[in-house]
Structure 1
Amino acid sequence: MSTSNELISAKAATGIEGLDDILSGGLSRSHVFLLEGEPGTGKTTVALQFLLAGAQAGERSLYITLSETERELRQGAASHGWTIDENVHIFELTPPESLLNAEHQQSLLYSSDLELGEATRQIFEVVERVKPSRVVLDSLSEIRLLAQSSLRYRRQILAIKHYFVRYDATVLLLDDLTTESLDKTVHSVAHGVIRLEELTPTYGAERRRIRIVKYRGQKYRGGFHDFTIMGDGVHVFPRLVAAEHRGTYQRLQLSSGIAEMDALLGGGIETGSSTLILGPAGTGKSLIALIFAAAAVQRGEKAALFIFDEELGLLFERMRNLGIDLQALQDTGNLLIEQVDAAELSPGEFSHRVRRCVDAGDIKTVVIDSINGYQAAMPEENALVLHMHELLLYLNRKGAATFMTVAQHGLVGDMQAPVDITYLADTVILLRYFEALGKVRRAISIIKKRTGTHESTIREYRISSRGMTIGEPLEAFQGVLRGVPTYMGADNPLLKDESQ
């Protein structure tokens, strides 16, 4: 009895780490699964990885192809650096020559009847000969065309299913959805259904996503998950669910290294919290985030920067002129810097990158610069907010201090952000331009901090070759945040001009 239970619970790993995670370990053995998607979505690549994973485990695998030739399959595998060994058998199913020759076709009997029966006989014969434990049938569209009617097609699929069950084979049926797209025959027959989709944005590379439509008797990770096809095969990025990750950490207060900044923040930023730096272009949002990252590295901690908007060479040079040597910090091994191309990277893959870095590198300070660039990777704002919610909650539970920047539209007066995530952040730092004494100046204030008290004042700050200098509270001014303040006091609290 125990052997039977072990057989039922055993899983056939697909060889794709993220997909096995979504499927709770892989495909249940001795069952038939449907892998569907339009041409070009990656079905063949997934199928080959499934068979090669079996071959590595010493299992016999069989690829039955009705649409591609054996040569094409081997070339496709070679393009990913894979070698199809003797444990993976490829059977190229072709109709007999008599059916291809018009002179030998019988007029009293539909040729499709002969072809369907002959195709089924060839499939059964090769299975008898190979006795595989993993089978891929590519594709069902050919069988559906041969069957011609829904009734014959359903009977044929049921016959194939019951035949494979006798051999305890785990079967993956591929369907390219080029015939009857509304025909759900195989959906009802299959033990599980996996759907691959390809989306083409207005600009940038295509986006691929995967969804488990059905999986009998098995809990799986629902919803859409991003995936890519790279040189070494398919990579699936399971949707991040922060509730699944809980960690214990000591809540500490992190200093920026600037006394006035720490005073504004009520002592500093707490671990396990997120900080949003909000302001128009050129106010120094990236600089503030990097000040905290540099302070973390100088304390001997690890930090990670994910840069969307700026070319790294320019960022390194710009920060060097402001007193922060990113190259020297990177050389210590405690600062990880990744350039992110929003046009090529999906939000799911980005979350996976951040999670991998934090888990593998024990990183405690994360900078995302900027959310504007992240939004470019995900035009749908509602989905963006949900992605950010899960990512920030996950980082908080890992005890990381996260810094995000958002560039607002405009320079002074009423400014709008392209996406409002202020409610997600634990701390919000607001930067503003204002005019005073014939010059454009900058002001900083803390408008929110969940993790403790903070100053409610507005301070002027200046950016120079020595970095950031923060002045005393502007208590004698009214209207600084509107951009044109009114001077109400006797003493001038503004920062004095200093040599750059």
Structure 2
Amino acid sequence: MAVPGEKVTEMKRLPTAVPGLDEILHGGLFEGGVYILEGPPGVGKTTLANQIAYQAHANDGTKTLYVTLLAESHSRMVQHMQGQAYFKPEAVNSAVIYVSAYRELEQQGLKAVVDLVRGELARHKASLFVVDGLVVENQELGPDERIRQFVHGLQSVASAMTCTGLLLTSGGNRSLNAEQTMVDGIFAFEDYVYQWRAERRIQIRKFRGSAVERGMHTFCITDEGLRFFPRLEGLPWNPRADAHADERPVSSGMAALDDACVHGGFVRGSSTVVVGDSGAGKTLFALAFAAQASLQQRCLLLTSADAPGDLVRFGEAFSLPISDGIDSGALEIQWEPQEDEGMDQIGHKLLRLVDEFGSKRLVIDGLAALADTVAFPERGYRFIGRLLRELKARGVTSVFTLDPAALGSAAGRPSAEGLIAWFDNVLEMSQAVGAEDGRELAIRKMRGVRVTRTRFQFGCGAAGLTVS
């Protein structure tokens, strides 16, 4: 109980240094706290615990006591980590001390495990401990009261010795019930399977001491360990004051379209979606926009269908200097074939690439690639809205191409209309009536810009690219 007038010291954080996780936790774990990591076997709990241990030592010299109960052998665990970038062989049993408590568990029960943890922490002067392998369904562990006492004992050890503890459990169909009210945090992991695809997810069900990013977040396991992707639309909003300091218009790459806009082109930082059926000329329009890139207005082009070389040849067939932009460093084309990546994984990667390249122009050729993800049917509408908001905050002028049929097929529902509402500008491309090679470009919406005309002839025949 706090004494009136007594100064309350702020709790010390232990950053995990795991990409994305500290962002979800608003800074990391708390010193003296015990956290339950529960989820099915193979979801990544052991990898995460080891990753935190090795990276904590690399960052500030933290020692970790790693206690196994019914988990895999230490030698096997170390073998599995050999290919992980965070793993340091020289740290084994010097900075990360592995201890088996299987014998204590079998012969004397869970209380003996707590005593072992306490003694080994004192002996090695470790400030982080992991207890791996608590299988709740195992009847040999005793009734709930015994497990409750076990968790309470670990909590007492962590508090008294100013340590941070991780308790890894399979959970399964039976969670830790009463113990959940005692610990400082509960991280629930799941391997979600949807129509032949799988997506790893985490939910912070409880976290004492600070707010966290609520809801489900996706993560993946790579050669560098776990990487988390906070739900994009749930992140705190941090506007950039200088994002729109330059109010000059951005050329669309089509002189006739720019002339029709009283502003002289797209508003800087605006988003445009070019809608049309396959073969309508959307990619060609996107390439014309990308070809306007300069070292002051770098452009990043992401495509999931065409390889970069194919786009270069396609654009230059219509006299668009795509290769010149690439050679000068003004244009970067990234080929991102559709794989089993989560929607937030794609979104965070996209924003990272924009920041790294210093892009002020962005082209996403094929919005359906984002829709072909597990979570898109549920939250694609909000996700796209936040993604466009993040791009606008960076002062990035973006062009997306959209085939409604492809989007409906990928998303499993006709959701194009709802998504289009998020974009500042909506252009529609279609086959011109009565024209063999011509196409029509129509302005459906231009937010914040007055236009003098709304329809154009878009030609992409043997004579090259023409707009009139």
Q: TM-score, normalised by structure 1?
A: 0.83
Question: Which residue of the other structure, out of 57, 61, 65, is the alignment partner of 2:68?
Answer: 65
Question: Which residue of the other structure, out of 392, 395, 410, is the alignment partner of 2:391?
Answer: 395
- Report what 1:83 is aligned to: 88
- Report what 2:207 is aligned to: 215
- Report what 1:497 is aligned to: none
- Report what 2:409 is aligned to: none
The one-letter amino acid of 2:346's match is: F
Change (3 A) 1:232 1:466: farther
Change (3 A) 1:434 1:334: closer
The one-letter amino acid of 2:362's match is: V
Report if aligned partners of 1:36, 1:174 keep a CA contact under 8 Å in 2: yes
Instruction: Map 1:12-411 onto structure 2 (within 5 A).
Output: 12-56=14-58, 57-66=60-69, 67-81=71-85, 82-84=87-89, 85=91, 86-95=94-103, 114-141=108-135, 145-178=139-172, 181-204=174-197, 206-240=198-232, 241=235, 243-248=237-242, 249=244, 250-266=246-262, 267-297=264-294, 300-378=296-374, 380-409=376-405
Q: Secondary structure at the match of 1:139?
A: strand
Change (3 A) 1:378 1:313: farther
| % identical aligned pairs | 25
Deviation, 1:251, is 2.4
Q: Deviations over 1:197-252 (max 9, x none)?
A: 22233245x32222211111212222222211111111112223373333322222
Report if aligned partners of 1:251, 1:272 keep a CA contact under 8 Å in 2: no
Q: Secondary structure at the match of 2:285?
A: helix
**For the residues of structure 2 that align with 1:19 and 1:293, how far apart are their CA atoms?**
35
Deviation, 1:162, is 0.9
**For the residues of structure 1 that align with 2:178 and 2:107, how far apart are their CA atoms?**
20
**For the residues of structure 2 that align with 1:295 and 1:162, how far apart are their CA atoms?**
64
Deviation, 1:428, is 0.7
Report if aligned partners of 1:60, 1:88 keep a CA contact under 8 Å in 2: yes
**For the residues of structure 1 that align with 2:291 and 2:236, how far apart are their CA atoms?**
27
Instruction: Map 1:350-499 onto structure 2 (within 5 A).
Output: 350-378=346-374, 380-409=376-405, 419-420=416-417, 421-436=419-434, 439=436, 441-464=438-461, 467-471=464-468
Give aligned pairs, total.
447
Q: Deviations over 1:276-323 (max 9, x none)?
A: 1011111111111221121123x7421111112223332232222222
Report if aligned partners of 2:404, 2:416 keep a CA contact under 8 Å in 1: no
Change (3 A) 1:251 1:186: farther
Report if aligned partners of 1:427, 1:448 keep a CA contact under 8 Å in 2: yes
**For the residues of structure 2 that align with 1:49 and 1:312, how far apart are their CA atoms?**
36
Deviation, 1:94, is 2.4
Unmatched segments (≥5 aa) in structure 2: 407-412
Deviation, 1:14, is 0.8
Deviation, 1:418, is 5.1
The one-letter amino acid of 2:226's match is: V
**For the residues of structure 2 that align with 1:344 and 1:209, how far apart are their CA atoms?**
14
**For the residues of structure 2 that align with 1:313 and 1:418, how far apart are their CA atoms?**
32
- Report what 1:107 is aligned to: none
Unmatched segments (≥5 aa) in structure 1: 100-111, 411-415, 472-500
Q: Secondary structure at the match of 2:291?
A: helix
- Higher Cα radius of gyration: 1
Q: Deviations over 1:131-175 (max 9, x none)?
A: 310001102216964332111211121122212321111001111
Deviation, 1:117, is 4.5
The one-letter amino acid of 1:436's match is: G
Q: TM-score, normalised by structure 2?
A: 0.88
**For the residues of structure 2 that align with 1:464 and 1:323, how far apart are their CA atoms?**
12
Change (3 A) 1:147 1:113: farther
